[in-house]
Structure 1
Amino acid sequence: MSRFKSGAKINPKSGFAKENESPVPHGLLKSARKSGQLNLSGRGLTEVPPSVWRLNIDTPEEANQNLSFGAADRWWEQTDLTKLILSSNKLELLPEDVSLLAALVVLDVHDNQLTSLPKTIGELQQLQKLNLSHNKLRELPEQLWSLTNLRSLQLQQNVLEVLPQGVGQLANLDELDLSGNQLTEVPDSLGGLNNLVKLNLSHNKLKSLPLGISGMTNLKLLDCTRNHLENVPPVLAHMTSLEQLYLRHNKLRVLPELSSCKMLKELHVGNNQIESVEAQQLKHLTALGVLELRDNKLKNLPDEVTLLEGLERLDISNNDISSLPCALGNMTKLKMLSLEGNSLRTIRRDLLTKGTQEILKYLRSRVQEQPDGNPQDVPQTAMTLPSQAKVNVHAIKTLKTLNYSEKQEASVPDEVFDAVGKDPISSVNFSRNQLCSLPARIIELKDTVTDINLGFNKLTSIPVEFCMLQGLAHIDFRNNLLESLPEELESLTKLRSVILSFNRFKDFPEVLYRLHTLETILISNNQVGSIDPIKLKDLERLSTLDLQNNDILHVPPELGNCTSLRALMLDGNPFRHPRAAIVAKGTDSLLEYLRSRIPS
């Protein structure tokens, strides 16, 4: 007679249920007792089985079986668990039983749903590395500050609004990452972390830095990118070990005082409101290799910048600089000089596109031609018209430039176009006015104009007639109110660069995918939500793509196939992958990472 009742449903996995009930395989726990390491990353865990916390306390299951043990299976000779990885799960809390793993040296619970930590975490006195990043932590227990053996504390991408003074007790800490939180201030006690080497405070809401920060005498990297800093305390100059300083995307009006930072190798102060750089601010920075001043309000660059003999990268893009020290041409170590987005009068636009070495070569020739006086100065000859509009006739005649910028006018007077006469104009600059529409008479220049700057106006649309300027190679529409571009722009078959930063684009303009001559696209600080990597790959000449500060939630791995890119900028978007550390490694590493993520 069958031992099963008639009609009863039989579980095909009967007899194996006990093993399958546990989300952590028995063999994995057995291995952990030997190695002292347990990796449970990416298993979809909503909670950690008690058997993990009691791994070094409970007698293992095999001890209760009638088995003979070989030398490799002596469970009584187990090793205490020293490394536990629980990352990329769905954990909402850690139980107080975490204290049972008292020998832990590394605890990694990043990329979970933790909203709090148990007080018993303070009992893990051997802990040296704690990764709590990418969770939902709003506060931290005071017991955390008793972990005085901690060397690395990762708290980035949480929702912390306050950092307690107790953080100063972690005297052995050499790396602290607080980026991507909601901090409005950090405590003065940070100065007690005099072994700290790396401090990341980026992507918070800091309005100032504490004076005690100067106590971190061994700090080499300080990242305060994307905060609300209006100034930096002078005590920063006392941090003599500082090698990398990131202050990008703040509200600084002056360059910080860094006279004693003679070890400083990289200074990043782009996307601020700095109007000038003084000679004394640079002359002591003898070790500087990277100076990034892009997207500020600089009108000139002091000659003393040429004394930075080790400088390899100088980025002054998107400022108001009209001339350069010709002695830059003698800086033999300079490998990258970024100048786009300035109204340079002495360097032809076509020369700017030929790269750093050609620009330096040109500047060297200017030093030889005009050793006396200021070779970069261009004679200013103006003609006053009935409308009181001033037109630089010299620029029209010799530089082929029509300049009516910084007038704050709502329209361009007819007298400006009348002054051109029959002279061929290659460059037009109507930037920094109040233009709500394109000047109708600009079409008169269609046969010769190659470069047009309409930045910092109030343009809401570009008329189809604009596409009659068939010779255009460079267009600057930054800081307007544009939401779209006309499809007829496709007819501009000589277009090499287009600047659309600081507008209102919600979508990447489709017409740009069809402009196969494009080498540079700058569309930062808009609301672009996605890009099409397949269409982008067709732009085989594209070398610079700036998508910073948009709303991109997903970076498609196929973007890695756009191997023509030499500069890909993605900072300031809300995507989670790739991690900020990957993006920070530069374009080549970023593209390689993306390619590795393409499904095979």
Structure 2
Amino acid sequence: MSRPRGVAGRDPRAGFRAERTDAGASVPQGLLKAARRSGQLNLSGRGLREDGAGERGRDGDVGSALPAEASNAWKLPQCVWRINVDVPEEANQNLSFSAAERWWEQTDLTKLILSSNQLQSLTDDLRLLPALTVLDIHDNQLTSLPSAIRELENLQKLNVSHNKLQILPEEITNLRNLKGLYLQHNELTRIPEGFEQLFNLEDLDISNNRLTTVPASFSSLSSLVRLNISSNQLKSLPVEISGMKRLKHLDCNSNLLETVPPELANMESLELLYLQRNKLRFLPEFPSCRLLKELHVGENQIEILGPEHLKHLNSILVLDLRDNKLRSVPDEITLLQSLERLDLSNNDISSLPCSLGKLPLKFLALEGNPLRTIRREIINKGTQEVLKYLRSKIKDDGPNQSDSVVETAMTLPSESRVNVHAIITLKILDYSDKQTTLIPDEVFDAVKSNIITSVNFSKNQLCEIPKRIVELKEMVSDVNLSFNKLSFISLELCMLQKLTFLDLRNNFLNSLPEEMESLIRLQTINLSFNRFKILPDVLYRIPTLETILISNNQVGSVDPQKMKAMENLITLDLQNNDLLQIPPELGNCVNLRTLLLDGNPFRVPRAAILMKGTAAILEYLRDRIPT
């Protein structure tokens, strides 16, 4: 094999194995040719090496039989670094070029992806690609970065996550145009001095390292919008962190924090704050965080939730307090008029204020509390049932309420099997747990001129939806048909155009009618424990959907492109289905706050990723989208 042309600048330590690689065994000439035209080169997951030694295992690991002298073999072939320097191979072979393929008019490489290989080092030849704006080398075996990285002055995104870095070269602070820096899942113990010089940095992820402190100089990162310092060994946060005037997303999960500096409450731009899995005993107050939308303080040791903690959270949408030591919830919880998701699970709460029923909650978690004032069967029916129960207790405490109910019930003896109290007081048409195959006409007759917002026909033996349900189309917003024997959905249901919540779990359904597209207000649908083999296509065309629960079916695929268009979707439960693979493009569904995938037969993402939660899953998937 002949020595390649243009060896000037080649690493003299590379030996002859590098020349064999440059011949194109690891990097096809077609890829290099396309990269010269597009300025982008993707070599992800190619097992780059100098020779054929070493088998890649099923999971991408190097075989244990790799000889000792091959420890140097996991380097990048020279043809990549010299792509804009050397004459292309096709030119050396005297091939003719069309006007569109003239190699001397090639585009400088601006995007290089080397992720998911076994690279142990990068050479200083990195400087031969000064036009790079994106360098992605995540998921390798790198223990250091070359000092030549300082010469990539145009670099805007650098992803070195999932490697073995123990230190960062100080030269990295020379990358003044850097906007995104991803260093998660390494072995870093400190941040180099001068880091504040990265004043254009907008997104910084240094999670899952071994950091014990955050430099006070971070306050100078005035452009930073997102900072992830989770899963380190931080015992405190510097007061200066409040100087990040543009910071919207701060993730401090899984550290050793016992307190947070009061100055944190003055960060006016903060929208998302994660403090889960720390050692907090007190919930911070946030007098200046008027834009705070999500506060996650689960898995701490917080004992008290008082009015002072709630009164400033005017914009809060999500409040996660699970796995703490709370004993009560104050009546002032009603101040949170924007709250949509409240997680109180696994605390020591014995009762809830009835005023909680006034909140516009879409999700309320109460499991693991010694509640004495709400029956378990009500909690098991879900959020809306709990809220209705709490609202009913407010009404029951009002004057003469019980007298009016008794009088009405006495005037309707023929409808004694119908819960008239629920119709009049709670606006619920309830005929559940009767094990009947048909809903009697007297149930619908009992409605008369009353306003009905909810229908509960669960726990019966219904094989079809009663046709008279269409009589309620102008008012009903909540329908529960769970635990029946429905094998199809009738068109009458599709006419309930005010419907926002639909529970169809535990039936025999394997499809939904296209006419459900007319449910233009539907926000939540529960299809768990049915017989679906695909996610029903009609769901993609209901733009108002916020929650899709379709666990315990046989779903084998989802369409990530259609899913991305569902801008309001925040919860997707696909647990215990038949998904053999998760499309990486699902990572683009950035609006998802809850994505549940456990219990499927896919191999990746692995369980360790799933345990880290939705944000980690979406990031993992995005990193694997082919370019």
TM-score by length of 2: 0.59
2:176 is matched with which residue? Answer: 148
Q: Are 1:164 and 2:192 counterparts?
A: yes
What is the alpha-carbon distance in structure 2 between the residues aligned to residue 324 and residue 586 of structure 1? Answer: 31
1:388 is matched with which residue? Answer: none
1:434 is matched with which residue? Answer: none
In the TM superposition, residue 60 of structure 1 has moved relative to its aligned partner by 1.9
Provide closer, same or farther for how the CA distance between residues 26 and 84 of structure 1 changes in structure 2, counting only shifts above 3 A. Answer: same
Corresponding residue to 1:26 among 29, 45, 66: 29
Corresponding residue to 1:341 among 368, 381, 385: 368
What is the alpha-carbon distance in structure 2 between the residues aligned to residue 78 and residue 539 of structure 1? Answer: 50
In the TM superposition, residue 581 of structure 1 has moved relative to its aligned partner by 9.1
Letter in 1 for 2:383: T
Letter in 1 for 2:606: H
Corresponding residue to 2:223 among 195, 201, 219: 195
Corresponding residue to 1:54 among 68, 82, 90: 82
What is the alpha-carbon distance in structure 1 between the residues aligned to residue 139 and residue 610 of structure 2? Answer: 15
Letter in 1 for 2:110: T
What is the alpha-carbon distance in structure 1 between the residues aligned to residue 111 and residue 607 of structure 2? Answer: 25
RMSD of Structure 2 on Structure 1 (CA) = 3.2
CA contact (8 A) 1:275 1:299 kept: yes
2:6 is matched with which residue? Answer: none
CA contact (8 A) 2:552 2:577 kept: no
In the TM superposition, residue 561 of structure 1 has moved relative to its aligned partner by 2.9
What is the alpha-carbon distance in structure 1 between the residues aligned to residue 380 and residue 256 of structure 2? Answer: 34
In the TM superposition, residue 65 of structure 1 has moved relative to its aligned partner by 3.5
In the TM superposition, residue 339 of structure 1 has moved relative to its aligned partner by 0.8
2:101 is matched with which residue? Answer: 73
What runs of 5+ residues in structure 1 fail to find an aligned partner? 1-16, 373-495, 497-515, 517-535, 541-556
Provide closer, same or farther for how the CA distance between residues 276 and 329 of structure 1 changes in structure 2, counting only shifts above 3 A. Answer: same
Q: Are 1:134 and 2:162 counterparts?
A: yes
Corresponding residue to 1:561 among 573, 578, 588: 578
Q: Are 1:577 and 2:619 counterparts?
A: no
Provide closer, same or farther for how the CA distance between residues 20 and 585 of structure 1 changes in structure 2, counting only shifts above 3 A. Answer: same
In the TM superposition, residue 59 of structure 1 has moved relative to its aligned partner by 1.8
1:403 is matched with which residue? Answer: none
Q: Are 1:276 and 2:276 counterparts?
A: no
What pairs with 1:154-553 in structure 2 (closer than 5 Å)? 154-331=182-359, 333-370=360-397
Letter in 2 for 1:348: R
1:177-226 deviation digits (Å, cap 9, x = unpaired): 01111111110111111111111111111101111111111111111111
What is the alpha-carbon distance in structure 2 between the residues aligned to residue 371 and residue 205 of structure 1? Answer: 53
Q: Secondary structure at the match of 1:150?
A: coil
1:12-46 deviation digits (Å, cap 9, x = unpaired): xxxxx998653111221111111111111100012
2:569 is matched with which residue? Answer: none
In the TM superposition, residue 569 of structure 1 has moved relative to its aligned partner by 8.6
What is the alpha-carbon distance in structure 2 between the residues aligned to residue 146 and residue 276 of structure 1? Answer: 47
1:214-255 deviation digits (Å, cap 9, x = unpaired): 111111111111110000001101111111101000000000
Letter in 2 for 1:126: N
What is the alpha-carbon distance in structure 2 between the residues aligned to residue 130 and residue 19 of structure 1? Answer: 25
Q: Secondary structure at the match of 2:194?
A: helix
What is the alpha-carbon distance in structure 2 between the residues aligned to residue 582 and residue 254 of structure 1? Answer: 26
Letter in 2 for 1:42: G
CA contact (8 A) 2:285 2:308 kept: no
1:38 is matched with which residue? Answer: 41
Deviates more, 1:146-155 or 1:363-372: 363-372
May I ask how many residue pairs the two structures share in their alignment? 394
Identity level (%) = 58
Provide closer, same or farther for how the CA distance between residues 70 and 21 of structure 1 changes in structure 2, counting only shifts above 3 A. Answer: closer
1:368-391 deviation digits (Å, cap 9, x = unpaired): 22259xxxxxxxxxxxxxxxxxxx
Q: Secondary structure at the match of 2:319?
A: strand
What is the alpha-carbon distance in structure 1 between the residues aligned to residue 358 and residue 32 of structure 2? Answer: 64
Q: Secondary structure at the match of 2:84?
A: coil
Q: Are 1:115 and 2:132 counterparts?
A: no
Deviates more, 1:160-169 or 1:77-86: 160-169
What is the alpha-carbon distance in structure 1 between the residues aligned to residue 31 and residue 300 of structure 2? Answer: 52
In the TM superposition, residue 583 of structure 1 has moved relative to its aligned partner by 6.1
CA contact (8 A) 2:143 2:163 kept: yes
Q: Are 1:82 and 2:128 counterparts?
A: no
Letter in 2 for 1:93: S
CA contact (8 A) 1:537 1:562 kept: no
What is the alpha-carbon distance in structure 1 between the residues aligned to residue 134 and residue 354 of structure 2? Answer: 54
In the TM superposition, residue 67 of structure 1 has moved relative to its aligned partner by 3.6
1:451 is matched with which residue? Answer: none
Provide closer, same or farther for how the CA distance between residues 213 and 581 of structure 1 changes in structure 2, counting only shifts above 3 A. Answer: farther
CA contact (8 A) 2:597 2:610 kept: no
What is the alpha-carbon distance in structure 1 between the residues aligned to residue 21 and residue 256 of structure 2? Answer: 56
In the TM superposition, residue 63 of structure 1 has moved relative to its aligned partner by 2.8
Provide closer, same or farther for how the CA distance between residues 156 and 299 of structure 1 changes in structure 2, counting only shifts above 3 A. Answer: same
What is the alpha-carbon distance in structure 2 between the residues aligned to residue 567 and residue 340 of structure 1? Answer: 20
Letter in 2 for 1:345: R
Provide closer, same or farther for how the CA distance between residues 115 and 214 of structure 1 changes in structure 2, counting only shifts above 3 A. Answer: same
In the TM superposition, residue 349 of structure 1 has moved relative to its aligned partner by 1.4
What is the alpha-carbon distance in structure 1 between the residues aligned to residue 41 and residue 371 of structure 2? Answer: 60
CA contact (8 A) 1:111 1:135 kept: yes
What is the alpha-carbon distance in structure 1 between the residues aligned to residue 180 and residue 168 of structure 2? Answer: 16
In the TM superposition, residue 313 of structure 1 has moved relative to its aligned partner by 0.6
What is the alpha-carbon distance in structure 1 between the residues aligned to residue 271 and residue 350 of structure 2? Answer: 31
Letter in 2 for 1:577: R
CA contact (8 A) 1:22 1:49 kept: no
Provide closer, same or farther for how the CA distance between residues 363 and 569 of structure 1 changes in structure 2, counting only shifts above 3 A. Answer: farther
Provide closer, same or farther for how the CA distance between residues 93 and 567 of structure 1 changes in structure 2, counting only shifts above 3 A. Answer: closer
CA contact (8 A) 2:276 2:299 kept: yes
TM-score by length of 1: 0.61
What runs of 5+ residues in structure 2 fail to find an aligned partner? 1-19, 49-73, 400-505, 507-528, 530-550, 556-573, 581-593, 599-603
In the TM superposition, residue 73 of structure 1 has moved relative to its aligned partner by 2.1
Letter in 1 for 2:156: Q
CA contact (8 A) 1:127 1:150 kept: yes
In the TM superposition, residue 559 of structure 1 has moved relative to its aligned partner by 4.8
